[in-house]
Structure 1
């Protein structure tokens, strides 16, 4: 069934005449009459009683049935249009953000607060998982956008750009002599993790060969163990800030010319259009 024909038929009944329907539809009256005739021919059913000129239009039994369906169809169309417009204007909508743990714990909150204050009618959901799991969720469309930390990420299925460069710090217990820190064991994340790969790259960049490596499953636990003089570590400055303020550990400075950093990435699926809420969150993050 041609929906334009159905719309013309519906408008004729709504306005009460072919001429008024033509005015509302911005087409000629003959075009409206032709459209309704073609609909009747297609359905092989009479829809409108053609009575005496000047008398109101009336529907056949079949016409009444079709009119009721048409009214429901175009009511749904209007509701869908209204919903789309509301989402475009960010009066309604939802966004699911996937983030890796360090970003969730130390970076994301002020941006979420800012976004929610600007767009209070948008429903927010945040998934916190490993970088690998976040990328899988993005591929499966379980999340709209991803913010992850780690080493270099390359894939033709993603659009990737750097959101921030996070400063990494070499850390030690305050009692360790700065001239002897290289003699102590290093606490690193588990082998195979993106954070471990990045830490090893940073150690190479800093020209450090660890005497001994102890694998630890979380950044926070590494910070706690270093504060107990268990060894040395290399962690994001955001993770160790409170430990340094309370003098539970210290940063080993290598000078501004040799600053260690790791990228924090914004990732979306290549070729998948961003919705209005996702575009608005992008602007909050980058502006």
Structure 2
């Protein structure tokens, strides 16, 4: 039985749309229709009700009955590949969504290992804030997200990757007192931080709104590299992952600011939908977990040295 026809059946059933299935499988809508027609002819049953227009394509009663069997066939096929060590058999496109903190740390190590283990795989990468990446995972426009997680939703798999601590930093040119500072004292300068709709921004904004006096001003950005540059150039006070400012602290371009409150650590997960079963995302996630662990291990060794 044709594997591509079975795979197409599962994706059309999951997405309820031939066009979306075509985008996911990187082919044309006529090709999707031909595969489904071929499978229906092979099985001798009608799998979908095609009402046309913008209405979702619905499974027939027989389609609903057969779907779990097809999913099981696809799953067991991938397990066979895994057991046989056929990583080179994986091909196609991995649509990867990444938070910028990961981009600035261990993403190159991950992509290098991914290419080594799955050389036939193409990667389409999107760097964005976690809220947008989460939507991409939920609507399956992304296969895998390396983001501030987890995503609490049925059929979303979350694997813990790493945790990064944040610190307040500023240019020495701001000449801030070398003592424990209250947030009211930090609010005299623009607060440079993560983009709106991110967990750090929401937490920081809420904390500063609780203060008496004039409201703080925020310079929010989707680019952590831009936030770091603004802090170095004494535009304001920034909150950044410690892992991104080691060199700047050593060179004296930035200094850590001691404050009565510091934002929570950032926890990152590899998150993907396992409905329908997504073997490439699963394998890529395993590689990401190992890359993150190795990066953390090397950082720990460097800190000891």
| Alignment TM class, shorter chain as reference | 0.5 to 0.7
**Structure 2 match to 1:127:** 126
Query: Which of the two has higher C-alpha Rg?
Result: 1
Q: Which runs of 5+ in 1 are unaligned?
A: 1-80
The question of 1:187 aligning with 2:185 is answered no
Give the drift of 1:146.
Answer: 0.9
Task: Please say if 1:91 is aligned against 2:96.
Answer: no
Give the whole-Å Cα distance in 2 for the aligned partners of 1:231 and 1:181: 15
TM-score (ref. length: structure 2): 0.54
Q: Match for residue 228 of structure 1?
A: 233
SS in 2 for 1:91: helix
Residue 117 to residue 253, structure 1, CA distance change in 2 (3 Å) = farther
Give the structure-1-normalised TM-score: 0.57
Residue in 1 that maps onto 2:143: 144
Are 1:169 and 1:260, in contact at CA under 8 Å, matched by a contact in 2? no
**In structure 1, what is the equivalent of residue 152 of structure 2?**
154
**1:141 aligns to what SS in structure 2?**
coil
- Written as runs of structure 1 = structure 2, the 5 A alignment for 1:4-153 is 89-92=86-89, 93-94=91-92, 95-149=94-148, 153=151
1:25-49 deviation digits (Å, cap 9, x = unpaired) = xxxxxxxxxxxxxxxxxxxxxxxxx
For the aligned residue pairs, the C-alpha RMSD in angstroms reads 3.5
1:190-240 per-position Cα deviation (integer Å, ceiling 9, x unaligned): 543333124457x68xx9989733233243232222222333221112332
Q: Where does the alignment leave 5 or more consecutive residues of structure 2 unmatched?
A: 1-76, 291-305
Tell me the equivalent position of 1:284. 287
Q: Is the 8 A contact 1:172 1:181 kept in 2?
A: no
CA distance in 2, matches of 1:271, 1:140: 11
* Contact kept? 2:194, 2:220, Cα under 8 Å: yes
Residue of structure 2 equivalent to 1:46: none
Deviation at residue 168 of structure 1 after TM alignment: 1.1
Tell whether 2:257 aligns with 1:252.
yes
2:265 maps to which residue?
261
Aligned length: 198
